[in-house]
Structure 1
Amino acid sequence: MHRENYMNALREDIVDTITRHLTPVAQRYGYSDMPLETNVKWRPMVLVIGNYSSGKSSLINEFLGAKIQDTGQAPTDDSFTVLTYDDSVPETEGIRVVEHRDGKVLLNDPEYPFSTLRKHGQRFAAHFQLKKINSPFLKNLAIIDTPGMLDSITERDRGYDYQEVIGDLAQKAGLVLVLFDAHKAGTVREAYKSIRDTLTAHTSEDRIIFVLNRIDECTTFNDLLRVYGTLCWNLSQITGRKDIPMIRMTYSSNAVAIKRDSASVPSFLPLLENQREDLKQTILQTPRRRLDHLATYLEIHGERLAHYIEALQAFGLEFQSFRIKKMFIGFLISLLGGSLISLIMMTLGSMAAPTILWSVGGVGAGLIMVLWLASVQKRLEYKFRTTRIENLDTLTPVADQTRKDSWSAIRDLVYQHLKKNKGDYSLYDLKLDRFNIRKVNDDATHEIREALSGFQSMSEDDLKKWGKDRLTREAHKKDFPQ
């Protein structure tokens, strides 16, 4: 209990830091339309994807301890289903669905982090749902079951872009399970695209776990080795990696129980029981790993946001320098023009007093300056902006790979923002915001990493003392708000 409280408190602190310090700046300068904490403010999520009939629903039902999701050899469910915890009904009364919400309600409920999925349209909303279940397995996490991937289904047939939805959900998830079954160790077209392109673009490799499911359907150990080898080869071709990613193996104990009655249970299954338990524990450790991911999320967006502001600041400095230079040129031209007007009038034998002649020249100079600012200056500034926006890659230095990755992530954002907005921000405000973001990023991430490092070695007594100290600090804040 104390460890759960510690993890929840640390998660809240990270989300609070993002909410108070990063999001206001990000939305002020167009780095993000949505609050940055939208993707991370809810509970840890496990995304389960795979070919149709790969056993996704059966595996989920086994973890939950009841038949919650429909199962079958043919595609049985074409919905994205969020499975989350509800304790209003005691589990002693039987594990079951306590509450059901459809996609339209779910996408517009601020309690959940799915509002960004509204962009996928009404067809997607009709295939999106949430089930609240009183299973203790879901106490600290949520599971997202997905439609099986096929060769014949296209995004147009589904009515929404399946890959984009998978990418958005993978970005929110703390863990992604990619399931294969013993009968189809190869990959269908949608699975190939998901593994090769979608997942790599929206999440990191350490969050992806490959699972060979339904291994009880291999009749002999040789069959299992053949299937496992085939899957390894396929994954190496898809990922393009020389090292084979780790593949966990599992099966449904319910299916094995049925086979046991017919005496057709493969003899090698007991040897792989530890694989099933390891997969289960890996999933249950998602909340702990989620803290690392949140810390990384804060670091990455803090660094990218600071780089983004740096780019706007660099553009602003160049534009300001260009503007001043051209205005100075316009000023010189106007002085020259005014002087010429006065000299011409004197040459033509004007009898006016010198002061009047120079006054006329001054008025002429002023008119020239106004025309310069209203016409020539604007055209020059427009040309500068257009040319500079089309050549952004020299805007900020990218000396190392970290900076290159950061620039690659924000370049299009900078481009789109500068095209829509003139970028006439206060350079002082940009400098101050950039300094504050870097300071928050350095200080907060240092404290969070220290807390995560110390968490592993903390005893129950340490955690209990920490809990009391935290309550004391919170009470002090309420009594003496800053």
Structure 2
Amino acid sequence: MYRDNYITALRTELLEMVSEQLTPVALRYGYSEVPLETNIKWRPQVLVLGNYSSGKSTLINEFLGTTIQGTGQAPTDDSFTVITFDDEEPDGTPIRVTEQRDGKFLLNDPEYPFESLKKHGQRFASHFKLKKVNSPFLKNLAIIDTPGMLDSITERDRGYNYQDVIGDLAQIADMVLVLFDPHKAGTVREAHTSLRDTLPSKTFEDRVLYVLNRIDECTSMTDLLRVYGTLCWNLSQITGRKDIPMIHLTYSTAAAEKNIQEDNPQATYLRYLENQREDLKNAVMQAPCHRLDNLASFVETHGERLTHFLEGMISYRKHARLFRVKSFFSGLAVSLVGGAAAWLGLMTFTPLAGFDPVLQLSGAGVLSAILFILWLTVVQKYFYGRFLKKWLRQLDHLTPLSNQTRRDSWAAIRDLLYVNLKKTEGHFSLSQVYSEYLVVKEIHETGSREIREALKELSGIDSNNWSKDMNEPVVPYWSVPESETPLEEQ
């Protein structure tokens, strides 16, 4: 299909742009610990977050069509579970877990985009796993189930920084579901931190869907409206938004049937909300459609941040060069003054006054050279250390922060620049950094615009009109090997 070939070609171009032009610079200067394309080369992902009793596992089981994740009123699983499709199982086989692998496998297999999570340590790795499931729902996406968020648990209790892990996963996810249940329409401490700090800094607002789950446990429509209103109020307080985000409503059909059978006639209101469940499912299945937009946003975001990062390096190097020029001439002046003083001393000091003037002048010159060398090797090094510490304390003065976009970009890379300057002591080639800065800036300003124009053109392509053979099986674009040359656009 021509449309799929177009998507494949565009995806290949994006990956090449990142791997060949952004990644080398990012790795060289510590902007990233792993190749940037690692985070975007796999299939679309949906991250599922929520309080421990919000019904995450139940909702996932509903999507998959069978019980894959353990469920219960108390916390049943404290692991991050990547659930992906097993395409080796023949069609018609009962849905089941076909393969399970541990965290060490996931973190070290280059097929998966989780190499950057190694930094969270062994304790996290032991709470990270993979399940392959032959559910048709997973053909075009993967789901990441997470441990339930609690109120009193700490980083020491978990053994790893939960918010950092959530942030890293949200950064590579194409969609994030945040689940609540009627009994905790308010939010626990970890949920508050995730919604207020972690998600806004790591992903875009339009990728986050809020879900009120287990609504079958509301005794009536009035009860549901009360819970819904409470959740809206709490979200407005946490997110600071005046406009309340859309909240999807859903429930387990099996649990709902049980409630209705237990002589609860008011629970029949659920049948009027069946479309809400379908809307949520359809929204999740749209994750692959957002993938190219997210890839374009990835290039734009990292192009902008890496440009700002290099701009900070260039600014520091220019200040450092000016410092060294001033220090050089200061040292030269001090050495000349010292040499002149030594020459006058030799001429006036009675025991040496009778020496040959040329010899006296040579001695003064040697002393001046020694003073200059000492200045460059000892004194200048000392003052440069103080100069570096001063700029590390006032990094914000390295670059203009004239608008909110630049302030947001600076907030994302400031600590990385601090680490880079402290580690290298500011010793790097200004000409090399500047040439790389021009390349990255070109990608940010021109490449990003061209990507958006290509996506706009793609949105105008009618896949039905562009298809030669509607019976031809469609291969998801993320499964096409990067080395495979896409067909020419027609």
2:52 alignment counterpart? 52
Q: 1:259 to 1:433 in 2, by over 3 A?
A: same
2:101 alignment counterpart? 101
1:449 aligns with 2:459: no
> How far, CA to CA, are the matches of 2:460 and 2:486 in structure 1?
28
The number of aligned residues is 473
Asked whether the 8 Å contact 1:181–1:212 carries over to 2, the reply is yes
1:322 alignment counterpart? 323
Counterpart residue identity of residue 312, structure 2: A
1:222 aligns with 2:222: yes
2:163 alignment counterpart? 163
Counterpart residue identity of residue 373, structure 1: L
Structure-1-length-normalised TM-score? 0.91
Counterpart residue identity of residue 43, structure 2: R
Q: CA RMSD in A?
A: 2.6
Asked whether the 8 Å contact 2:182–2:214 carries over to 1, the reply is yes
Cα distance, 1:358 vs structure 2: 2.7
Q: Which moved more, 1:299-308 or 1:12-21?
A: 12-21
Cα distance, 1:389 vs structure 2: 2.1
Counterpart residue identity of residue 148, structure 1: G
Kindly provide the CA deviation profile for residues 426-453 of structure 1, in whole angstroms up to 9, marking residues without a partner as x. 2111111110111122232122111211
Equivalent position to 2:367, from 364, 370, 376: 364
Q: Which moved more, 1:111-120 or 1:6-15?
A: 6-15
Cα distance, 1:106 vs structure 2: 1.5
Counterpart residue identity of residue 410, structure 1: I
1:173 aligns with 2:173: yes
Q: Which moved more, 1:194-203 or 1:256-265?
A: 256-265
Q: Secondary structure of 1:291's partner?
A: helix
Q: Secondary structure of 1:178's partner?
A: strand
Counterpart residue identity of residue 226, structure 2: R
> How far, CA to CA, are the matches of 1:188 and 1:268 in structure 2?
29
Q: Secondary structure of 1:267's partner?
A: helix
Q: Secondary structure of 1:93's partner?
A: coil
Q: 1:231 to 1:3 in 2, by over 3 A?
A: farther
1:63 alignment counterpart? 63
Q: Following superposition of structure 1 onto structure 2, how do residues 267-282 of structure 1 map, counting pairs within 5 Å?
A: 267-282=268-283
Unaligned runs of 5+ in 1: none
> How far, CA to CA, are the matches of 1:149 and 1:342 in structure 2?
78
Cα distance, 1:33 vs structure 2: 2.1
2:82 alignment counterpart? 82
> How far, CA to CA, are the matches of 1:446 and 1:237 in structure 2?
36
Identity among equivalent positions (%) equals: 57
Asked whether the 8 Å contact 2:44–2:291 carries over to 1, the reply is yes
Q: Secondary structure of 1:183's partner?
A: helix
Q: Secondary structure of 1:379's partner?
A: helix
Asked whether the 8 Å contact 2:64–2:136 carries over to 1, the reply is yes
Asked whether the 8 Å contact 1:149–1:191 carries over to 2, the reply is yes
Cα distance, 1:323 vs structure 2: 0.9
> How far, CA to CA, are the matches of 2:5 and 2:80 in structure 1?
30
1:133 aligns with 2:133: yes
Q: 1:162 to 1:380 in 2, by over 3 A?
A: closer
Q: 1:168 to 1:223 in 2, by over 3 A?
A: same
Q: Which moved more, 1:23-32 or 1:263-272?
A: 263-272
Cα distance, 1:477 vs structure 2: 10
1:18 aligns with 2:22: no
Asked whether the 8 Å contact 2:33–2:116 carries over to 1, the reply is no
2:145 alignment counterpart? 145
> How far, CA to CA, are the matches of 1:187 and 1:476 in structure 2?
49
> How far, CA to CA, are the matches of 1:477 and 1:340 in structure 2?
77
Counterpart residue identity of residue 377, structure 1: Q
Counterpart residue identity of residue 344, structure 1: G
Cα distance, 1:413 vs structure 2: 1.6
Asked whether the 8 Å contact 2:210–2:247 carries over to 1, the reply is yes
1:183 alignment counterpart? 183
Asked whether the 8 Å contact 2:216–2:259 carries over to 1, the reply is no
Asked whether the 8 Å contact 1:6–1:463 carries over to 2, the reply is no
Cα distance, 1:100 vs structure 2: 0.8
1:345 aligns with 2:352: no
> How far, CA to CA, are the matches of 1:263 and 1:457 in structure 2?
53
1:237 alignment counterpart? 237
Q: Secondary structure of 1:206's partner?
A: helix
Asked whether the 8 Å contact 1:27–1:35 carries over to 2, the reply is yes
> How far, CA to CA, are the matches of 2:241 and 2:285 in structure 1?
28
1:301 alignment counterpart? 302
Counterpart residue identity of residue 324, structure 1: V
Cα distance, 1:258 vs structure 2: 4.4
Asked whether the 8 Å contact 1:59–1:252 carries over to 2, the reply is yes
Q: Secondary structure of 1:429's partner?
A: helix
Asked whether the 8 Å contact 2:316–2:398 carries over to 1, the reply is yes
Counterpart residue identity of residue 299, structure 2: L
> How far, CA to CA, are the matches of 1:99 and 1:4 in structure 2?
30
Kindly provide the CA deviation profile for residues 160-198 of structure 1, in whole angstroms up to 9, marking residues without a partner as x. 332222222222211111111233322223222222222
Counterpart residue identity of residue 30, structure 2: G
Counterpart residue identity of residue 91, structure 1: D
1:286 alignment counterpart? 287
1:400 alignment counterpart? 403
> How far, CA to CA, are the matches of 1:137 and 1:440 in structure 2?
36
Q: 1:370 to 1:123 in 2, by over 3 A?
A: closer
Q: Following superposition of structure 1 onto structure 2, how do residues 396-435 of structure 1 map, counting pairs within 5 Å?
A: 396-435=399-438
Kindly provide the CA deviation profile for residues 181-228 of structure 1, in whole angstroms up to 9, marking residues without a partner as x. 233322223222222222223222211111111222223221211111
> How far, CA to CA, are the matches of 1:64 and 1:3 in structure 2?
28
Asked whether the 8 Å contact 1:140–1:287 carries over to 2, the reply is yes
Unaligned runs of 5+ in 2: 469-473
Asked whether the 8 Å contact 1:91–1:135 carries over to 2, the reply is no
Cα distance, 1:352 vs structure 2: 4.4
Q: Secondary structure of 1:248's partner?
A: strand
2:28 alignment counterpart? 28
2:118 alignment counterpart? 118
Counterpart residue identity of residue 163, structure 1: Q
2:471 alignment counterpart? none
Structure with bigger RCO (C-alpha 8 Å, 6+ apart): 2
Asked whether the 8 Å contact 2:5–2:486 carries over to 1, the reply is no
Counterpart residue identity of residue 339, structure 1: A
Asked whether the 8 Å contact 1:7–1:288 carries over to 2, the reply is no
Kindly provide the CA deviation profile for residues 254-298 of structure 1, in whole angstroms up to 9, marking residues without a partner as x. 333445656756332232222112111111111222322221121
Cα distance, 1:130 vs structure 2: 0.7
Q: 1:186 to 1:380 in 2, by over 3 A?
A: closer
Q: Which moved more, 1:196-205 or 1:389-398?
A: 196-205
Kindly provide the CA deviation profile for residues 392-445 of structure 1, in whole angstroms up to 9, marking residues without a partner as x. 221112222222222222222222221221222121111111101111222321
Q: 1:38 to 1:366 in 2, by over 3 A?
A: same
> How far, CA to CA, are the matches of 2:484 and 2:73 in structure 1?
56
Counterpart residue identity of residue 249, structure 2: M
Q: Following superposition of structure 1 onto structure 2, how do residues 193-272 of structure 1 map, counting pairs within 5 Å?
A: 193-259=193-259, 264=264, 266-272=267-273
Q: Secondary structure of 2:268's partner?
A: coil
